[in-house]
Amino acid sequence: MRVLGVDPGLTRCGLGVVDGRPGRPPTMVAVGVVRTPADLDPARRLLQIEQGIEEWVAEHRPAAVAVERVFAQHNVQTVMGTAQAAGIAMLVAARHGLPVALHTPSEVKAAITGSGRAGKEQIGQMVTRILKLDAMPKPADAADALALAICHVWRGGGTSRLAEATGAAAAQQARQRAAYAAATGRVRGGRA
């Protein structure tokens, strides 16, 4: 499975693409960041992020997109920009019909290092080791994007298949209930 990991941010939006399967070492396809100038209007910055992610999706053709789940921080302005960039990543994925998974920072840290409290340096070192890279991806946003993609390959793929199966089963049950209600409604004078 090829996964595009997105570490959302308004100034630096990390992007990382990996190929892999659960139980096997993943391989890096590409890594980088979309940078936007801080003095640019926020709407234009979001447009640049959208264009950058769009190019990555078109070039690398991922099967899924893993985005860091935004959580509340003390700096409301920072969390707003991060949430907006995450929304752009989800929008691009939806435009291409790609499934989107949101992973919390602690979930990613635990998947990559074994500890949900790992620091950025530990994440970078483990991403370098897991992907057998010569050097740690820089900046940290790039390494974080690769970590998101690895986490999804190792954890998210099964979770999304389970969610799809659960959704399909629920839809089947709803159809059966509707058919039963229609059938019994006709017997009782046409009312369901």
Q: What is the pLDDT of residue 126?
A: 96
How confident is the model at residue 186, as a pLDDT?
Answer: 54
Can 68 be counted among the known catalytic residues? yes
Mind listing the pLDDT tens digit of every residue in the chain (192 residues)?
999 999 999 999 999 999 999 988 999 999 999 999 999 999 999 999 999 999 999 999 999 999 999 876 677 778 899 999 999 999 999 999 999 999 999 999 999 999 888 999 999 999 999 999 999 999 999 999 999 999 999 986 554 454 444 445 555 666 776 676 677 765 444 444
Asked if 52 and 13 touch (Cβ cutoff 8 Å), the reply is yes
**H or E segment and range at residue 92:** helix 76-95
Determine the Cα–Cα distance for residues 66 and 5; give it in Å rounded to an integer: 5
Distance separating alpha carbons of residues 46 and 148, to the nearest angstrom: 21
Active-site hit among 19, 39, 54, 68: 68
- What token pair was written down for 76? 């409301």
> Exactly one of 50, 107, 141, 144 is catalytic; which is it?
141
Q: Give me the residue spans of the domains in the chain.
A: 2-162
Task: Take residue 116 and report the two structure tokens written for it.
Answer: 């949900």
Distances (CA, A) of 81 to 14, 68, 108: 14, 13, 21
**Statement: 2-162 belongs to CATH 3.30.420.10:** yes
Is 7 a known ligand-binding residue?
yes
Q: What is the pLDDT of residue 75?
A: 76
C-alpha to C-alpha distance for 139 and 32, rounded to whole angstroms: 8
